[in-house]
Structure 1
Amino acid sequence: MFIELADALVERFDSIEFLHLLAERSVRLLPVDAAGILLADEHGALELVAASSRLARPLEHFLLQSADGPSEESFHSGQTVRCPDLRALPPRWPRFASAAVKLGFLAVDTVPMRLRGEVVGSLNLFRTSAGALPAEAETLARSFANVATISLFQVRPGAATRAVAEHLETALSDLVVIEQAKGLLTERLEIGVADALSLMRNYARNTGQLLSDVARQVTERSPSVSGLTRISKPHPRW
């Protein structure tokens, strides 16, 4: 995992792909069912930038809108936040817990992402069964978050706040294009949203392009990505 994160730091660094890699690898290597990554802008507002699956997205968006949940608590305290059973009474975060349980999540752990002693975001780990995350898994999750954060922002020297703001601005701009491209491919190829994203990620890696660049070519209906329309079913990247 650590080697793979380091290998992602190529000359044309793709921060969106890097964060998706972190989320998906966290689900594969830790006893969790979904993961979401949030980064804070220069004003301290958290934004969702990557998720391991579409299951995490509605929960994270609810969290961001309500400002009631483990991500905000972890970000402001700088500590790992644990909730082994979201059904416990009284609920720690009433609205968040209700939304999470409805989506099938019963436990959550949120690990702060640090840069030079400053918290810049959080790695959120969701489980569909109640119970505490094993201590060794929590330690590994903190290591993933720390190494990934250092790797993510070391490519841009300067003040940490400025680096985070720049990355977040770029990431959010790229995410808009990626979402548009996913919608086009979903309609054009009659495939699911998750398959559309997987298709673009595979194509980007195979052709040595950034995911955002491939997405822009799709939205512009560029002939350079016509090969995407000839693939009936995307092959999993991992």
Structure 2
Amino acid sequence: MAAVSNAAESRLVSAYGRLFSLLAESPEVDVFLDQVVHVAAEVVTPAVACGLTMRRDGGAFTVASSADLAARADEIQYGADEGPCLEALRHGKVVEVTDLRADERWPRYREHALEHGIAGSLSLPMTVDGETVGALNLYATHRGAFTDTARRHALAFTAQGAAALTVILRQADQALLHQQLTDAMTSRSVIDQALGVLMGQQRCTASEAFALLRQASQHRNRKLREVAAEIITQVSGESPQPAPGFISPRQHS
């Protein structure tokens, strides 16, 4: 028994290492989630399959699954609008099904899940910045599959997975912010160049030049930047040059 326990602990430690190796590789979010469910199914050994349910637009959908069984079990719950993974997602609590045949909590889900051979499950909420954003769903094909050790490992792995997901989502937000700032700087640069052209041509102030540019934008039903780019191209014979990319203080230091 000690050897089995030590082997399980070793798998859990290895799983942590794999999660944070993924972080170092800066993967796409969907790649990371796909790895999470496959590693979870390996770490929590009674589980036959693992799925990850996440919120979107007020609903729930499966973003990754280690096997078809998990995907089917999740879909049954979405169709029935009830089940352990939805319970975990909606209430932010761990939901265990020891013996689905004897469990009467979700009758519409239970009937179809039993037909697919599901006998038990363990659903664990994933929390990011204090909000439950998903639920990790582990499915088993025999009763009483999840021992105390299995539950402990599932809880530990889910906590580490949520921590890693938090980092990745923050990185994604930063990347989006960086792109938005770069786009804004590029637009501003093009508009400023066009204003300079108009000021020279019309011998007017910057405010007057901007009013002319805005009037042309409204009259043509075109974006301000597009009209500005046309003016620069007409005068120079070349498309406007992009502004240098935005560099955050962290990158600059």
TM range (shorter): 0.5 to 0.7
Cα 1:117/1:12, change in 2 over 3 Å: closer
2:125 paired with 1:87: no
Structure 1-normalised TM-score?
A: 0.61
Out of 61, 67, 73, which is 2:87 matched to? 73
- Measured on the aligned residues, the alpha-carbon RMSD in Å equals 2.1
2:39 paired with 1:25: yes
Aligned match of 2:128: 115
CA contact (8 A) 1:83 1:132 kept: no
Aligned match of 1:7: 21
CA contact (8 A) 2:128 2:165 kept: no
2:94 paired with 1:62: no
Out of 41, 59, 67, which is 1:53 matched to? 67
State the Cα distance separating 1:125 from its structure 2 match.
0.7
Distance 1:66 1:73 in 2: 12
Q: Number of residues paired by the alignment?
A: 159
Alignment of 1:60-209 (within 5 A): 60-88=74-102, 91-131=104-144, 133-157=146-170
State the Cα distance separating 1:126 from its structure 2 match.
0.5
Distance 1:84 1:157 in 2: 36
2:84 counterpart letter in structure 1:
P
SS of residue paired to 2:37: helix
SS of residue paired to 1:8: helix
State the Cα distance separating 1:72 from its structure 2 match.
1.5
Larger Rg, first or second structure (1 or 2)? 2
State the Cα distance separating 1:29 from its structure 2 match.
1.8
Distance 1:116 1:132 in 2: 31
Displaced runs of 4 or more, over 3 A: none
Q: Highest relative contact order (Cα 8 Å, sep 6+), 1 or 2?
A: 1
**More displaced, 121-130 or 59-68?**
59-68
Per-residue CA deviations over 1:121-151 (Å, capped at 9, x if unaligned) read 1000110001151122112111211211221
Structure 2 spans left out of the alignment, 5+ residues: 1-14, 177-253
Structure 1 spans left out of the alignment, 5+ residues: 167-238
